[in-house]
Chains A and B, each alone.
Chain A
Amino acid sequence: MQSPNWNSKNLTKLALLTGLSLIMFLVESLFPPLLPFAPGAKLGLSNIFVLISLLMFNLPMTLIMIIAKCSIAILFTGNVMSLLYSLTGGIFSAVIMYGTMGLFFPKVSVIGISLLGGIAHNIAQLLVVSLVLESFHIFAYLPVLSFAGALAGILVGTVVFYISKANIPEL
């Protein structure tokens, strides 16, 4: 893999993607809970732009974006503790998606990459939660959360595919 181009053009694009993902985060926080038995589960629409950043740039630049996104997001939610969960989930899923992309990209489309990212996100968060509660019993939620994460990932991947079709200049 090539080293990133840390020029101002790319950094400006990265900042724009971060802003767009924060907008999606705010819009999504207005939705009612999707699963009645798991009120915390959400689609993760802000990850559309994380995946675009991974496709356009590379892992270090995307990790900077995730850290910025999660830090600014706690200004909206007012919940500092959630930084722990969102950061670990975001970083782990980005690493998994980047690895999948590097190994299998044209053979596996963005949908497959995003599906694995969604599952990875939930597994990382379950791990943090079980460490906080000092109990691994919450892994009983693993199948349900993995399935929900996979569905959310498929949706995010589909959106990214159609964004790539939209011929947006400079993207």
Chain B
Amino acid sequence: MNRLPQVKQNKIFTKGDFLIMAVALIVIIAIFIFSIRPMVTGSTVEIYESGELVHTINLSKNESYFYEVASGNNTITVKDGVAYIEDSTCSDQLCVKIGAIKDSGKQIICLPNRLRVVITGEGEIDAIS
């Protein structure tokens, strides 16, 4: 049942591997091209709790929102045309580390607190400066 000796005798890279790699690469690139959209600065920041919209902030404003659920809380800050999570009580802090977003469709997720911050709409280009 032990297949390790067979691995040893096998080549490191076979035609089958090449086929799998090629198919995987083609599928990934196809999905990527299909889902690609031009980068446009967004206009609205939407804050979701478990898929439910709880708050919206205009991206051109300077505003902070205190998000609180049973598992902890996050501070979502919109400042100078970008949105970011300033503070979080979650253990991994991934939502804070990921930094600021401004383009339409970009999102920040804090999984422990079931929070999703997403940018929507199309803003004016001069709204940032």
B-binding residues in A (CB < 8 A): 2, 4-5, 33, 37-40, 52, 55-58, 77-79, 81, 101, 104-112, 115-116, 119, 129, 132-135, 137-138, 140, 142-144, 146-147, 150, 158, 160-161, 164-165, 171
Contact = CB atoms under 8 A, between A and B. Distances in A.
Q: Is the interface of A mostly helix, strand, loop or mixed?
A: helix
Given A112-B21, A137-B107, A146-B24, A160 B16 contact: no
Contacts of A2: 1
B13 A109 contact: yes
B4 A135 contact: no
Q: How large is the interface on B (under 10, 10 to 19, 20 to 34, 35 or more residues)?
A: 35 or more
The 10 closest A-B pairs by CB, nearest first: A134-B51, A108-B16, A112-B17, A143-B32, A164-B7, A107-B16, A112-B20, A55-B3, A164-B8, A135-B51
Interface in B29-55: 29, 31-32, 35, 48, 50-52
Q: Is the interface of B mostly helix, strand, loop or mixed?
A: mixed
A137 to B, nearest CB: 7
